């Protein structure tokens, strides 16, 4: 199975320290939706795994998150891209859940949904916790320098084997090269 796991904020769309709380605040990073379309064209399914603690913090509700994801799906479709699934953790950091990255719960759910192990599956994120959750389930970590990615790179402590790319388009290029596309 050809699968790629993406974080959302800072990878697909512009991030905000004030959280993305509405469809109006959700804006794709230039080229990100086209990069997803390239993955789809090469036979990859794309799944999003995203921490969304704004829910637990009361910054937005499930209806707003659904509206944001509806916009994401519509804009992706207009770029010729398709996102198979969007998983999210609604918990705050202090909730000590298993799904909030850096814990691997969302990655385990993805593995269960597809009935596969995630060894060697590319996972793209812009934060250390994205990469840590991915590596815990055997994924190949890709750090993009968009969103919080540049600060993450500077801070260091990246998992061994992390592939660093300017943006999602660069990560997709590397993923396709590594698969012989």
Instruction: Classify each residue of 37-55 as buried b or exposed e, where b means 16 or more C-beta atoms within 10 Å of its C-beta.
Output: bbbbeeebbbbbbbbbbbb
126 is annotated as an active-site residue: no
- Quickly count: other Cβ atoms within 10 Å of residue 30's Cβ: 12
Q: Which residue among the candidates 7, 126, 130, 167 is catalytic per the annotation?
A: 7
Q: How far apart are the C-alpha atoms of 12 and 155, rounded to whole Å?
A: 22
7 is annotated as an active-site residue: yes
Residues near 154 by Cβ (< 8 Å), separated by ≥ 6? Answer: none
Catalytic residues: 7, 9
């Amino acid at each position: 199975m050809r699968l790629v796991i993406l974080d959302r904020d800072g990878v697909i769309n512009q991030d905000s320290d004030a959280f993305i709380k509405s469809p109006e605040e959700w804006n794709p990073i230039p080229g990100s939706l086209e990069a997803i379309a390239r993955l789809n064209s090469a036979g990859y399914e794309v799944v999003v795994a995203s921490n969304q603690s704004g829910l637990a913090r009361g910054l937005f509700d499930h209806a707003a998150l659904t509206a944001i994801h509806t916009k994401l799906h519509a804009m992706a479709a207009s770029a010729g891209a398709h996102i198979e699934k969007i998983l999210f953790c609604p918990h705050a950091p202090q909730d000590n859940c298993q799904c909030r990255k850096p814990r691997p719960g969302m990655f385990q759910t993805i593995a269960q949904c597809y009935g596969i192990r995630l060894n060697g599956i590319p996972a793209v994120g812009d934060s250390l916790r994205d990469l840590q959750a991915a590596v815990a389930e055997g994924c190949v970590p890709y750090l993009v320098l968009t969103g919080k990615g540049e600060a993450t790179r500077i801070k260091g402590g990246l998992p061994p084997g992390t592939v660093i790319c300017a943006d999602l388009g660069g990560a997709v290029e590397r993923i396709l090269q590594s698969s012989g596309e």
